[in-house]
Chains A and B, each alone.
Chain A
Amino acid sequence: MDTAYLIETIIKVVVILLVFSALAGIGTYFERKILAFMQRRLGPMNVGPYGLLQVGADGIKLFTKEDIIPQGVVKNIFKIAPVITAATAFMAAAAIPFLPSFTLFGYEVHPIVADINVGILYILGVMAVGLYGPLLGGMASANKFSLLSAARGAAVFISYEVVTGLSLLAPIMMVGSLSLIDFNEYQAGGIGDWIVWSQPVAFILFWIAAFAETGRTPFHLIANDHEIIDGFGTEYSGMRWGLFFIGEYANMFFISFVIPLLFLGGYGDGSFLGALGLLGKMAFFFFFFLWTRAAWPDVRPDQLMWLCWKVLMPIAVINVVITGFVMMF
């Protein structure tokens, strides 16, 4: 392992950490602005032009607020839970190729931290570990609402995980690899080669499961304000609560990168236009998360489990079987 590789990796890790923790903050601003636009309000307007500095104000507030550890909680677990959510979100990013490789000052840069050949499995597995944050936070707080939220977290996790895996199986069979870079190469020929045209069912299923994975609105059960206050976050304050938020928004950004890479051609042939295209697709999927939040009501936990186990899972299995038959004959 030479020194250049080590330095390059460390720089990449730092850049990804900085960019996405900043983006997670700005993501909250986007969310408030877009929700305000859809509900005919103004949203944040007072801090800076168009409320742009609201992110900084929120950050200062979260950092300087007192970090309260209530009595009766399991201290160690309570303290470590938010860190799990944030850390695993960024760990999952290690296997995502954010841009095509480019040359900087005569040095070729691959914007992926670790190109392991089981990238998809790794990303899904580590993102799944992220749900331990809400679960542990909910179980460690001595609060009935938090406990309810933890129970819902476990139910959500067990439901969507099956759908994600099975829906991805069909495209993986077609590409014959688990690496996101191989997925991108497979679709590099242009719009006609995109996997979404041959696997529309898998695309829709994965998209639905992505909402459950990030805990966004139709499946926003684990912190449903109108039923269980803030769920796992009820007892938290200050930066620990903020870490939950950074994890959630970073996860949204990462899954918005993964969906286009898997189904919509990724960065294409690796040109500048392709890179812009990937960022554009990512922006659309992120916007779609916010759009659904403005437009859709939440489902009940039993409805989510019914949907995942009795509707989506059989469809995913049938999709895998049909893909297998088509590939064989």
Chain B
Amino acid sequence: MFEAIAFYLFAFLTISMFYITVTTSQALHALTALAAGMIFISAFFFILGADFLGAIQIIVYTGAVMALYAFGMMFFDSTRDVKEKQGNKFIVVGMATVAAVLVVAIFSAPILSDNIVALYPSVGAGNTQEVGMVLFTKYLIPFEVAAVMLLVAMVAGIVLAGKKMDLSLTLMNKEEILEMNEDKNKKVLS
């Protein structure tokens, strides 16, 4: 009974938080509702007995949404409403309908073919150990691919943020480096 009460409570809270995130035109309201919704989702992991994933959900999303706040702080005056550009309403409604139908199709297709069977890892070990075992045996390749993707994203971020990344000091000879430095000084002076 407690599980049912907790489930409906947190389901209601999560959906209402994400509804606020989508509908409000206040940057601070949207971000706060997003953070709250993400944290409320962790309740479902706790209800299902996946303590480790629940705690990870809290830690990861507090950090992620905190970075969003930092961007919000830089781009908006967060105490004012954002003036939204209202496009063609028919396109918005049409796209939303198509997306909703697609989501339903994605989730109902496996049920129709009776393919959803929960794959429990080895029983007996603790929650954390089970996640580790599955990650390093059954899902090793997706895990490594995700790691490579993150590495690519990190390299791309450094390249985007760095300056003069197209020049390599090791490949240039001394005169070229001196010339470059002079150019830099000129720019500062002018």
Contacts and interface: CB of A to CB of B under 8 A. Distances in A.
Interface string A116-157: 111001101110110110011001101000010011001101
Interface in B87-145: 126-128
Contacts of B35: 132
Of the listed residues B26, B56, B126, the one surrounded by the most CB atoms of chain A closer than 10 A to its CB is B126
Nearest to A161: B63
Given A136-B28, A154-B73, A125 B128 contact: no
A173 to B, nearest CB: 12
Interface of A: 1, 72-74, 76-77, 80, 116-118, 121-122, 124-126, 128-129, 131-132, 135-136, 139-140, 142, 147, 150-151, 154-155, 157-158, 161, 165, 177-178
29 contacts: A74-B78, A74-B79, A77-B29, A118-B128, A122-B51, A122-B55, A124-B59, A125-B55, A125-B58, A125-B59, A125-B62, A128-B58, A128-B59, A129-B39, A131-B66, A139-B28, A139-B69, A139-B72, A139-B78, A140-B28, A147-B73, A150-B69, A154-B70, A154-B73, A158-B66, A161-B63, A165-B59, A177-B126, A177-B128
Interface string B70-89: 10110000110000000000
A136 B65 CA distance: 12
Given A1-B2, A135-B69, A77 B28 contact: yes
Of the listed residues B26, B62, B128, the one surrounded by the most CB atoms of chain A closer than 10 A to its CB is B62
A118 B78 contact: no
Interface residues of B, number: 27
Contacts, number: 87
Nearest to A139: B78
A74 B52 contact: no
Contacts of A128: 58-59, 62-63
B178 interface: no
Q: Chain B binding site: helix, strand, loop or mixed by DSSP?
A: helix
Given A135-B69, A150-B73, A158-B67, 20 more contacts: A1-B2, A77-B29, A80-B32, A118-B51, A118-B52, A118-B54, A118-B55, A122-B51, A124-B59, A125-B55, A125-B62, A131-B66, A132-B66, A139-B73, A139-B78, A142-B79, A147-B73, A154-B70, A157-B66, A158-B70
Given A140-B79, A154-B66, A74 B59 contact: no
A118 B54 CA distance: 9
Nearest to B46: A116
Nearest to A142: B79
Contact of A121 (B2, B29, B32, B52): B52
B69 to A, nearest CB: 6
Contacts of A135: 66, 69
A211 B27 CA distance: 31
Given A118-B128, A129-B58, A72 B32 contact: no
A195 to B, nearest CB: 18
B33 to A, nearest CB: 10
A177 B29 CA distance: 38
A72 to B, nearest CB: 6
Nearest to A135: B69
B26 A74 contact: yes
